[in-house]
Chains A and B, each alone.
Chain A
């Protein structure tokens, strides 16, 4: 498949996935107990009030018509209005999404910077004690609920040793959050831990696979030093599949952010979502789900494209 055909196909696939997500979200909106009217008007509303509301909002029209109307709203960036905060959902998300992205990107970067060298080190020292130790630690990190890890971090590095604050930076803008970087240390550490666990495993596997390739043997036979081969060839070739996995990791990063933000009271989208769940603020909940799904699909798409560009061997379509 040529690259342009591939790109078009991939983008169409992504569009189809997002369309399915909108159907799911739309279905959820209508599966709510009592429907949207009951949600907005509250449990005291009379049948007449609900009927009037439904008529006013077009909720008495057939579902397919409503769905098209909903899609039209989405196309205009209208995600509805929060029941409790009385602000447009799109505005709430625009305000908080950058802060969540900051948290997830920092966690991902810190995680990768640790995971990649660790994985390579393990591969080079395969079946030596250091390999076993890192493997065991990464399985433990993977098996630890993020909130438990966060709690331990707070107890150790904030209570026992007063090094870092236990509360994340507060503030409306990115600048206000960044002005207090020490508050980001523990949330980022909690978010990065499982990342290190997962990606050191990938890096180890990818490096091992590359070390057994012919080109390594050839380079070695040609007299290149192991270290030069490792960094010049194996490193780059092993990084490719790891980059691809990064795209698939986006939903996990968001899931982690949800817990981390709640735990450290970090004013991002995860906390917004958490608070909305406590107050059954459905427009906010479903708006966030939609945005996160779009972010995930975009992440996967970008990872696939980047992988195809940096690794000419990846020509076969992904299953």
Chain B
């Protein structure tokens, strides 16, 4: 959930994008050579299939309380046992994973979109507009997201859409810094200056030149952002702001399992915990691979 794995870099470190076709093919080849990144991609594909196609094969009752089968240890009938209200844990892992990954993906993308627009606008405008916009970013970074989320949880309990919005709005700051740095180097390129000279508008310069040329930076930032958002979703459930029962996510399963930790019900803790770690790790590995493949600066 931290923003720290993505240090912003001084302007001037961005590289010139290569011509689209060969550049993309080169990037794909470089990405595929990164073993960890490919494993990460495999893990994500596996979990997407597991959560979205899994319930078609392994159908379980995740809505009713089944008091005759509470806290059962793993067995042939329930591969990962059952939880405190009798839900099959393997089925729940699929059900919760759907929520975790959807919310994480949506929040990560939303954060990147907000951050991109903010950063591009600030960097392009320059001067005092830039200064004010970036001080606002500094102020946002000074308040850790978990604290804001807890304040929000004291005020209201959002639905899924609200959760995505809140998570997006607390995590757009780092991408905004990255895109701003990129914009600062791009806005003085000849093609942008030429466009301006022949009367092209600012918005055209941003949407036609600066953003397309920042695509690799943005894609890499988005990947890390998704990893962080999935982790943040897990924290949010732990803080009590997350998905409300009977729906759940991996973080909610984990915090429900915490109460049973001392009873030795390991099957309620390890599966959701490991699922979170694996998926977050996988998105980070993919981000790492993409960053190297596109040769952009991102996190260290």
Question: Residues of A at under 8 Å CB distance from B?
Answer: 13, 16-18, 20-21, 24, 28, 31-33, 135-136, 139-140, 142-145, 147-148, 151-152, 154-155, 159, 194, 198, 201-202, 204-205, 245, 248-249, 251-252, 254-255, 258-259, 273-274, 276-278, 280, 282, 285-286, 288-289, 292-294, 296-297, 300, 316, 318-319
Contact = CB atoms under 8 A, between A and B. Distances in A.
Interface stretch (B21-29, B69-77, B104-112, B147-155): B147-155
Interface string B1-42: 111110111110000000000000000000000001000000
Interface stretch (B58-66, B136-144, B190-198): B136-144
A142 B276 CA distance: 11
Contacts of B204: none
A180 B165 CA distance: 43
Given A252-B144, A280-B155, 11 more contacts: A17-B142, A33-B155, A143-B280, A143-B281, A145-B276, A148-B273, A151-B261, A205-B300, A251-B143, A285-B151, A292-B143
Contacts of B10: 316, 318-319
- Among B5, B8, B262, max chain A CB count under 10 A is at B5
B231 interface: yes
A21 B277 contact: no
B242 to A, nearest CB: 12
Given A145-B231, A145-B251, A316-B10, A286 B151 contact: yes
A266 B285 CA distance: 34
A259 B7 CA distance: 23
A294 B231 CA distance: 26
Contact of A151 (B234, B258, B280): B258
B141 A296 contact: yes
A292 B144 contact: yes
Contacts of A319: 8-11, 177, 180-181, 184
Interface string B145-184: 1111011011110000000000000000000010011001
Contacts of B276: 143-145, 148
A245 B281 contact: no
11 contacts: A18-B139, A20-B135, A20-B138, A20-B139, A33-B156, A144-B277, A245-B4, A249-B4, A252-B3, A294-B142, A319-B10
Given A143-B277, A147-B238, A148-B273, A273 B143 contact: no
B217 to A, nearest CB: 14
Given A143-B276, A145-B235, A151-B269, A289 B8 contact: no
A280 to B, nearest CB: 5
A159 B276 CA distance: 24
Contact of B144 (A20, A202, A258, A316): A258
B227 interface: yes
Interface residues of B, number: 56
Interface string B266-298: 000100010011101100110000000000000
Interface of B: 1-5, 7-11, 36, 135-136, 138-139, 141-148, 150-151, 153-156, 177, 180-181, 184, 227, 231, 234-235, 238-239, 251, 254-255, 258, 261-262, 269, 273, 276-278, 280-281, 284-285, 299-300
A16 B136 CA distance: 9
A157 B277 CA distance: 21
A278 B240 CA distance: 9
Which of A136, A144, A202 has the most C-beta atoms of chain B within 10 angstroms of its own C-beta? A144
Contacts of A28: 151
Contacts of B284: 139, 142-143
B58 to A, nearest CB: 25
Contact of A258 (B146, B258, B262): B146
Contacts of B239: 277
Contacts of A278: 154
A155 B263 CA distance: 11
B152 to A, nearest CB: 9
A267 to B, nearest CB: 18
A33 B231 CA distance: 29
